[in-house]
């Protein structure tokens, strides 16, 4: 009589069918065997960005798919409204950081996995932090956050002298998103597939209400909420910035919106709706999160092991009426400012770092303000935190040419803010700086460049 399989053998049974056997759809470097499964545990480092409804599913699925070294980053705390779909959280967890609780719960349930939580903004981490991961999995509900992580991942991509991407420097991402009964999963391999910025047009513009409607003729609960958020707040709190992540600020907006709704006889203002309108929260359903997470984790496993060809390159799911999935292959934008070789900027060797930062504000392709500059992992100037700004301030008066070791041409990274659709967002840009008159480098034909 055959021996009963152990719990570990039972858990890895289906995974072994993918990793221990050859197949017809495998990647070119796929070598089946127990060593591959062990390498996945030892060397497969995955960062999960977001610990909400989709992020919880991603952490659980990755842990159950053989990944043992995971990290998760999220800036939010658990709220009561999260509990209906973010299954790792309990009532006693309300007010605690999502990343910390999610990591703790998965490690309690899946033996052998180690998950390091980071309770902070994604912008708070330096490039060096993101460089250590082999794959980044996104479980976000924000276009701005996706765009920032996309620019970070693309910043590691290097190009040869012919402007051909070096695939060995590419940092793959798997991006998932859900909205009600709809969702998507996509594979982003910078330099090979289109990056997030290449297909930014896929996301419809956010709904904006005319201020005259909000102030004079509100007709919906959302109008009342936006009136309290955009107009009443500034009237009462002159000069004080509204913080959507501050519960007291959100409660104030809810109370004012309720008064406004009662005045005009408009029903439907609730605290959860106030959060949804102000923070542009996308409605989520647990089953949709589970389906999209499964697709994302399968693609992560394919990338890490080569056990099958990856998705090419955008899957959409619609479960509103029946069940429909479709895969679309989008094309990379050869002129993309994020995943391309970088914005070419010509400089004199005498240009100081401070002058260089000023030039980025005026560059027509960048319009980058409050920029922090790094070169090969070294911080040349940091706008924040104050201690780093003070440490790097002396570099502002030094020529950039000297700061990068008098190299005739090289790549530097700039992290700053730019304005999109009347909204300031954080972004990272790759800049190819070329110094004129050094080692035979003459003025180049760079129409539209500085």
Contact between residue 165 and residue 190 where contact means Cβ atoms under 8 Å apart = yes
Strands 114-119 and 69-74: parallel
212 is a catalytic site residue: yes
Of these residues, 212, 224, 339, 427, which one is catalytic? 212
- Cis omega (within 30 of 0) for bond into 313: yes
112 backbone dihedrals φ, ψ, rounded to 5°: 90, -15
Q: Residue 107 to residues 60, 70, 121, 419: CA-CA distances in angstroms?
A: 9, 10, 23, 40
> Alpha-carbon torsion 296, 300, 306, 311, what sign?
positive
Cα gap 233→239, rounded to integer Å = 10
Q: Which two tokens stand for residue 105?
A: 């719960």
Cα gap 439→431, rounded to integer Å = 20
Cα dihedral 377/381/386/387 (nearest 10): 60
Cα gap 337→150, rounded to integer Å = 12
Other Cβ atoms within 10 Å of 184 Cβ, number: 19
Cite the active site residues.
212
């Amino acid at each position: 009589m055959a021996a009963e399989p152990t719990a570990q053998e039972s858990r890895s049974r289906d995974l072994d069918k993918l990793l221990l056997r050859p197949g017809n759809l495998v990647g070119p470097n796929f070598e089946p065997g127990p060593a591959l499964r062990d390498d996945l545990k030892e060397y497969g480092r995955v960062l999960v960005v977001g610990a909400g409804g989709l992020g919880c599913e991603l952490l659980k699925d990755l842990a159950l798919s053989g990944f043992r070294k995971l990290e998760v980053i999220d800036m939010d705390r658990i709220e009561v409204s999260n509990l209906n779909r973010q299954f790792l959280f309990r009532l006693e967890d309300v007010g605690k950081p999502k990343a910390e609780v999610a990591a703790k719960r998965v490690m309690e349930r899946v033996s052998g996995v180690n998950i390091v939580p980071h309770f902070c903004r994604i912008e708070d981490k330096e490039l060096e932090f993101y460089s250590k991961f082999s794959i980044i999995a996104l479980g976000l509900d924000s276009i701005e956050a996706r765009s920032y992580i996309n620019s970070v991942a693309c910043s590691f991509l290097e190009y040869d002298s012919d402007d051909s991407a070096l695939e060995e420097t590419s940092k793959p991402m798997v991006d998932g998103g859900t909205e009600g009964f709809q969702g998507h999963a996509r594979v982003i391999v910078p330099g090979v597939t289109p990056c997030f910025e290449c297909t930014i047009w896929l996301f419809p513009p956010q709904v904006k209400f005319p201020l005259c409607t909000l102030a004079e003729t509100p007709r919906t609960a959302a109008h009342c909420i936006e009136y309290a958020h955009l107009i009443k707040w500034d009237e009462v709190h002159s000069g004080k910035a509204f913080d959507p992540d501050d519960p007291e600020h959100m409660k104030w907006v809810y109370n004012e919106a309720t008064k406004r709704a009662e005045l005009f006889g408009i029903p439907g203002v609730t605290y959860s709706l106030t959060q949804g309108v102000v923070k542009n929260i996308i409605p989520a359903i647990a089953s949709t999160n589970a389906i999209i997470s499964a697709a994302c984790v399968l693609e992560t496993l394919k990338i890490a092991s080569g056990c099958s060809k990856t998705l090419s390159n955008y899957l959409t799911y619609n479960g509103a009426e029946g069940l429909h999935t479709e895969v679309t292959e989008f094309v990379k934008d050869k002129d993309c400012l994020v995943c391309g070789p970088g914005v070419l900027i010509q400089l004199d060797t005498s240009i100081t770092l401070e002058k260089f930062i000023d030039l980025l504000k005026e560059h027509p392709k960048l319009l980058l303000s409050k920029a922090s500059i790094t070169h090969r992992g070294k911080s040349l100037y940091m706008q924040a935190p104050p201690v780093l700004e003070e440490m790097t301030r002396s570099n502002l008066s030094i020529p950039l040419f000297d700061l990068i070791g008098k190299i005739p041409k090289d790549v530097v990274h700039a992290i700053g803010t730019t304005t999109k659709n009347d909204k300031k967002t954080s972004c990272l840009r790759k800049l190819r700086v070329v110094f004129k008159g050094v080692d035979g480098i003459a003025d180049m034909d760079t129409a539209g460049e500085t």
